[in-house]
Amino acid sequence: MTGRLFFSPAQPKLPAGPRIGRRAIFGAAAGGATLLLTRGQALAQSVPPGGHLSFNILRHGSLIGQETVTFQQDGNRLTVFVDVSIRVTLAMIPVYRLHHHETETWENGQIVSFAATTIKNGSHFYAQGWRQGSQFMARGTAKPDGYVAPPDALPTSQWNHAMLDGPMINTQDGKLMHPRVTDLGFTEVKLADGSQARARCYRASGDLHFDTFFSDSWEWVGLSFPAPDGSVVIYQKV
């Protein structure tokens, strides 16, 4: 889940990295050669073997919520369920609450539709996308009349690293976003059990701000982003 929790419009002070080109994000060295993956291939590598991802969400080192991603494969059709629940308290009084649910449908590696609902501090938001002929349509709280999305646009679903290769449709309000994505190379990311995992970091800046992390097999393994109050929200894979 990204672009729908605590993201601040202010640009945080982050170290610069090399800008990645459109298909270059899917490059992987193998035997001295470079393998460029199509979006369909990248999608297949993004689905974890167990069909499930779970993350603890932390702020100031304290657990504030959890995100789960569940995958159901039926032949060439893949259905993905994303659930997020966050509760922030101050002196035991809830000051921030968020519940988000999204369902995505993919077929042969192509997005067919998605539908998402979010309740944030009592306010309701929605976003939808669906394929209509050769076009992908989208609408949401920010764009209730709907629009034709660019052909390479994908919902802001962190599990699928293919979203980094084009415009993103915000799954909270349906707004089309164009963040700049840079490849920061390999680093170590902390998991929920305290261990470290080798992962490649990609940074989004501009109208979205986050660092997202993927393993060598393109499994999503971590996320961090700035909150408006200057704190950092961290996802640790369970």
Look at residue 9 and tell me if it is in a domain.
Answer: no
Q: What is the mean pLDDT of the chain?
A: 85
Instruction: Name residue 27's beta-bridge partners.
Output: 36
Look at residue 3 and tell me if it is in a domain.
Answer: no
Length in residues, the chain: 238
26 φ/ψ angles, rounded to the nearest 5 degrees: -95, 10
| Residue 94: strand, helix, or coil | strand
Whether residue 201 contacts residue 215, with contact meaning beta carbons closer than 8 Å, is answered with: no
Find, among 16, 62, 68, the residue nearest to 231 by Cα: 62
Instruction: Name residue 107's beta-bridge partners.
Output: 77, 110
pLDDT at 116: 98
Look at residue 107 and tell me if it is in a domain.
Answer: yes
pLDDT (tens digit per residue) in 146-169: 999 999 999 999 999 999 999 999
Task: pLDDT band for 1, please (50, 70, 90 cuts).
Answer: low
Look at residue 124 and tell me if it is in a domain.
Answer: yes
Residue 134 CA to residue 114 CA, distance in Å, equals 16
Query: What value does the mean pLDDT take over residues 111-128?
Result: 97
Structurally, the chain folds into a number of domains equal to: 1
Structure-block tokens of residue 94? 């809830």
Number of H helices, E strands in the chain: 1, 18
Place of tokens 């902390």: 190
Window from 2-16, 118-132, 170-184 with minimum mean pLDDT: 2-16
Q: Domain range holding 96?
A: 23-237
Task: pLDDT band for 38, please (50, 70, 90 cuts).
Answer: very low
| Residue 114: strand, helix, or coil | strand
pLDDT at residue 221 tops 70:
yes
% of the chain exceeding 90 in pLDDT:
76
DSSP H or E segment with residue 43: helix 39-46
Look at residue 15 and tell me if it is in a domain.
Answer: no
pLDDT at residue 117 tops 80:
yes
Query: What value does the mean pLDDT take over residues 216-223?
Result: 96
Find, among 200, 223, 214, the residue nearest to 45 by Cα: 214
- Burial code (b: 16+ CB inside 10 Å, e: under 16) for 48-70 equals beeeebebbbbbeeeebbbbebe
Largest CA distance in the chain: 56
CATH code for the domain in which residue 214 is found: 2.50.20
Task: pLDDT band for 40, please (50, 70, 90 cuts).
Answer: very low
43 φ/ψ angles, rounded to the nearest 5 degrees: -60, -45
Higher pLDDT, 21 or 194: 194
Look at residue 172 and tell me if it is in a domain.
Answer: yes
Whether residue 208 contacts residue 3, with contact meaning beta carbons closer than 8 Å, is answered with: yes
Residue 124 CA to residue 120 CA, distance in Å, equals 7
pLDDT at residue 7 tops 60:
no
176 φ/ψ angles, rounded to the nearest 5 degrees: -85, 130
pTM > 0.85: yes or no: no
